[in-house]
């Protein structure tokens, strides 16, 4: 269930309302493996809602 004025989950980053739910907030997304990971989906939605994000990930060498 989403609010009537919420952008769709698959909306491109930055297309959310200017006063999005996370506007002005910062977040750290850890464990981003690829575009299919749960962390990626959470980050994408948080960015759509106006959050400024930083990422950590493990490279393929591990």
pLDDT of amino acid 26: 94
Q: How many beta carbons lie within 10 A of that of residue 50, not counting itself?
A: 18
Of 8, 43, 48, nearest to 57 (Cα)? 43
pLDDT tens string 29-59: 998 888 888 999 999 999 999 999 999 887 7
The sign of the CA dihedral 27, 15, 10, 5 is positive
Cα 47-32-11 angle, rounded to 5 deg = 30
More confident residue, 61 or 20: 20
**Those residues with Cβ within 8 angstroms of residue 57's Cβ, 6 or more apart along the chain or in another chain:** 31, 32, 33
DSSP 39: H
pTM of the model: 0.62
More confident residue, 9 or 58: 58
């Amino acid at each position: 269930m989403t609010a009537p004025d919420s952008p769709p989950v698959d909306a491109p980053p930055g297309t959310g309302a200017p006063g999005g739910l996370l506007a002005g907030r910062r977040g750290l997304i850890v464990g981003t493996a690829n575009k299919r990971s749960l962390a990626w989906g959470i980050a994408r939605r948080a960015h759509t809602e106006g959050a400024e994000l930083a990422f950590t990930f493990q490279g393929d060498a591990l």
